[in-house]
Amino acid sequence: MPTINVTTESGMNAKKFALWLFIVSIVMIFASLTSAFLVRRAEGNWIIYDLPSALWISSFIIVLSSASMHWAYVAAKKNNFPTAGKAIVVTLLLGLSFGYTQFMAWSELVDQKVFFAFANPGGSFFYVLTGLHAFHIITGLLYLLVTWYKVNNNKISSKNIIQVEMCATFWHFLGVLWLYLFVFLFMYH
């Protein structure tokens, strides 16, 4: 069944427009959380902790996953859907690895006796920021699965790769968002 492309009055694809609105809303959420982090930190009663070393590994993994997603997009543009499917699987595996390293980071914090608790806003903000990002990673992994399914079942062609393009856009956004959070946490933990 052919895909119907709906465009807005400005000529932009409606699905792309919705994705960008979603991305902007996520940016606003994280901007407000990091702002609240800084305001609350300035008030005092802030626990100092060592930044988990697993975050360095997860940052490397998310950059690799962005590269593999770009590989999938380039392959799809060249009508090489077997390669695109493989690259999406690599991205999925790297995304799962990223999630695992986030879990390891939380374990490192627990070992430091840093918990999610109202008496400990420093640690609590860490868990909220990374947990909310992990939630978005899960949505990205689901999006990757849907895209992989469509690629492998010939539901996408090189003339209409909007699904792959949007998936790549969202995945790259999650990578950039993580790098922002990592630098932010590195500077202010």
Show the 3-state SS of 77-128: HCCCHHHHHHHHHHHHHHHHHHHHHHHHHHHHHHHCCCCCECCEHHHHHHHH
Residue with more model confidence, 126 or 158: 126
Q: Answer yes or no: is pLDDT of 130 > 60.
A: yes
Containing domain of residue 64, as a range? Answer: 14-188
CATH of the domain at 38: 1.20.120.80
Rounded to an integer, the average pLDDT of 63-74 is: 98
Average pLDDT of every residue of the chain:
92
**Number of domains composing the chain:** 1
What's the pTM?
0.91
- Is residue 147 domain-resident? yes
Q: Answer yes or no: is pLDDT of 10 > 90.
A: no
- Is residue 6 domain-resident? no
Residue 126 · residue 41 · CB < 8 Å = no
- Is residue 1 domain-resident? no
- Is residue 148 domain-resident? yes
Report angle CA 168, 170, 174 to the nearest 5 degrees.
Answer: 115
In tens, the pLDDT along 20-48 reads 999 999 999 999 999 999 999 998 878 88
Six-digit token string for 184: 């932010």
Confidence tier at 8 by pLDDT (50, 70, 90)? low
Q: Answer yes or no: is pLDDT of 6 > 80.
A: no
Question: Given this model, what pLDDT does residue 48 score?
Answer: 84
Q: What percent of the chain has pLDDT over 70?
A: 94
- Is residue 28 domain-resident? yes
